[in-house]
Amino acid sequence: MRAVIQRVRHGSVTVSDRVIGEIGPGILVFLGIHPADGDAEIDWMVDKIANLRIFEDDSGTMNLSLFDLDKEMLIVSQFTLYADCRKGRRPGFSAAASPDIAEPLFRRFIEKVEKSGIRAAFGQFGAMMDVQLVNDGPVTLLLDSDKTF
């Protein structure tokens, strides 16, 4: 499981000219799912993201997490995080989970985030989405549950 995490002042997802998910200050998560991912990867990723100390304390040090500040999370499915661009000019996506595998895992990821107490909004799996965000910092991190990454 891969995630690109962006600290944001605001984020939203629009599908067919309708805003379907929106947050204020918090974290935007672009989530990529691998065919071998399961509950262990979901648990690891949710815990890691929710507890990342990427918000500044009073001294300006990144020392606070989503939980510390009661911030929100916007979650967007992003199979292109598993693109292989090493050969040719067109990315290959064979390392990304197929929709029948990825969608249930995406739903479980959202459920796990919500059960943790974090206010969450999310995009629509498989839809063409317009994602808007205002970076805070900017702070952008790449996480990968694969220990060999």
- Each residue of 29-66: pLDDT tens digit? 999 999 999 999 999 999 999 999 999 999 999 999 99
Q: Is the pLDDT reported for residue 3 higher than 90?
A: yes
Q: Is the pLDDT reported for residue 26 higher than 80?
A: yes
Report the pLDDT averaged over residues 7-25: 98
Its domain, for residue 19, covers 2-86+104-144
Distances from the Cα of 105 to the Cαs of 5, 74, 90, 112, 125, in angstroms?
A: 18, 16, 27, 10, 11
Would residue 140 show up in a list of annotated catalytic residues for this protein? no
Q: HSE on the CB side for 118, CA within 13 Å? A: 30
pLDDT, residue 147, reads 72
CATH number, domain at 69?
A: 3.50.80.10
Locate 142 and state its tokens: 């790449």
Q: Is the pLDDT reported for residue 1 higher than 90?
A: yes
User: Long-range contacts: 91-95, Cβ < 8 Å, 24+?
Assistant: 95/34, 95/35
Would residue 79 show up in a list of annotated catalytic residues for this protein? yes
pLDDT, residue 110, reads 98
49 domain-assigned: yes
Distance CA 12, CA 52 (A): 21
98 domain-assigned: no
Query: Which residue is catalytic, options 55, 78, 106, 122?
Result: 78
133 domain-assigned: yes
Mean pLDDT of the chain: 96
110 domain-assigned: yes
Would residue 78 show up in a list of annotated catalytic residues for this protein? yes
Sign of the torsion angle spanned by Cα atoms 132, 138, 144, 145: negative
Locate 75 and state its tokens: 């979650």
74 domain-assigned: yes
pLDDT, residue 38, reads 97
Structural domain total, the chain? 1
pLDDT digits (tens, 9 = 90+) for 74-91: 999 999 999 999 999 999
Query: Which residue is catalytic, options 61, 67, 80, 140?
Result: 80
Report the pLDDT averaged over residues 95-111: 97
Locate 129 and state its tokens: 């989405």
Query: Which residue is catalytic, options 6, 30, 55, 79?
Result: 79
CA angle 40, 6, 67 (to 5 degrees): 65
Distance CA 65, CA 54 (A): 6
121 domain-assigned: yes
52 domain-assigned: yes
94 domain-assigned: no
